[in-house]
Amino acid sequence: MKYIRKSICSLLLCVSMLAVLLTGCSGGKGTAATGNARILIATCAKGDAFRDMLIAALESACDEQGIGHDTVYAEQSAEQQVAQVKEAKSQGYTAVICRLIDVDTALQVERAADGLPVIFVNNCPDEGYLKADEYIYVASNESVAGSYQAQYVLDKLSGKSEINVMILQGEKTHSATKGRTEAAKRVLNESGKKINYLFQDYADWSPELGQEYFEIFNSTGRTVDCVISNNDSMAVGAIAGMEACGIDPATIVVCGVDATADACRLVKEGKMDFTVCQNAVNQANAAVDVAVLLSSGKSIKDYAGTSDTGYQGWVGFEKVDAAEELLNKVYTVSGLSENVDKYIK
């Protein structure tokens, strides 16, 4: 049975406002004085569940604070993204919030901004390209997500001395791919168990590739004890692959990241074991707050969540499994806080 992508992304983009999550995955709204801030949101392309949630949340955060904003899509062209940012200053923007297409183009984007502050989200450039109160990264610490996944696997399979692992990675140039994968492998490797990495490849955040890769792996006749996926979409695809191969997903520990509606539904159904809530609303609120502060020439050093470096703002991850109360507190396609039971009725 081929996995059919749900229209979560398009529905999210039709919603005018994302509400704040309930307790456990919620955060404060923007509190910075807006002044004359006008923000350019520069991103890649539509079609990824979390990224679309984040862009919708950024637009909503701007609207809630009465901040002028526009969103431009570079359609996976790093050159086009640099060109779009280059026009920002002459068009009257006071700050750029940028989801980099390629982390290696961070310097070009900063130069193109021509003195405007740049707040990077969801894809972190090398720290050498970040600078306090000028070039900031606001997101969640990716290594935490990978560590959470690996520790869950070790706890779930505590009775096994040897664990066969499949790892589905995101885009090769994405900071989350590296951070989550390295952290998960580090925790597994330090466990004292024999860890066999039977499959590891880039599935580019895609549910279709997640399914295809699992089916390819299954055709070799080997088996895995767990699937650690850099995001939920690939994990959902892997589960579809298991079902297409006649394998009960409940027999394999599957872990993702993002706590998307699809993933939480599968956790509730017992087909997926674990995900990590990456809070798009909190990340967006923080990014917009930082953009407003920098637009007015202020420092972010005292802004909640800012690291000692002055160029990183961290928004925490939350663990989600069937035993967690948080499972029933995720926001879904409507953008409103909604019980998962209502979504999967």
Element spanning 185, H or E: helix 175-189
With respect to residue 108, please indicate whether it lies within any of the assigned structural domains.
Answer: yes
What range defines the domain where residue 80 resides? Answer: 31-140+279-314
Q: pLDDT tens digit string along 171-227?
A: 999 999 999 999 999 999 999 999 999 999 999 999 999 999 999 999 999 999 999
* Strand 312-314 to 253-255 pairing: unpaired
> Across the beta sheet with 162-169, what order do the strands follow?
194-202, 162-169, 226-229, 253-255, 274-278, 317-321
CB 257 within 8 A of CB 231: yes
Selection from 169, 124, 162, 129 nearest residue 146 by Cα:
169
Claim to verify: residue 136 and residue 219 sit in the same structural domain: no
d(CA 295, CA 67): 11
Same domain, residue pair 160 and 239 = yes
Tokens of 176: 């989350």
In a domain, 224, yes or no: yes
Task: Check pLDDT > 50 for residue 293.
Answer: yes
Assess whether 166 and 247 both reside in one domain.
yes
Q: What is the predicted pLDDT for the residue at 35?
A: 66
Mean pLDDT for the chain? Answer: 86
| 24-48 pLDDT tens trace | 333 334 445 566 899 999 999 888 8
- Whether residues 336 and 200 share a domain: the answer is yes
Whether residues 331 and 238 share a domain: the answer is yes
* pLDDT tens, residue by residue, 214-269: 999 999 999 999 999 999 999 999 999 999 999 999 999 999 999 988 999 999 99
Q: What is the pLDDT of residue 199?
A: 98
Please determine, for residue 303, whether its predicted confidence score (pLDDT) is greater than 90: no
Residue 278: predicted pLDDT: 86
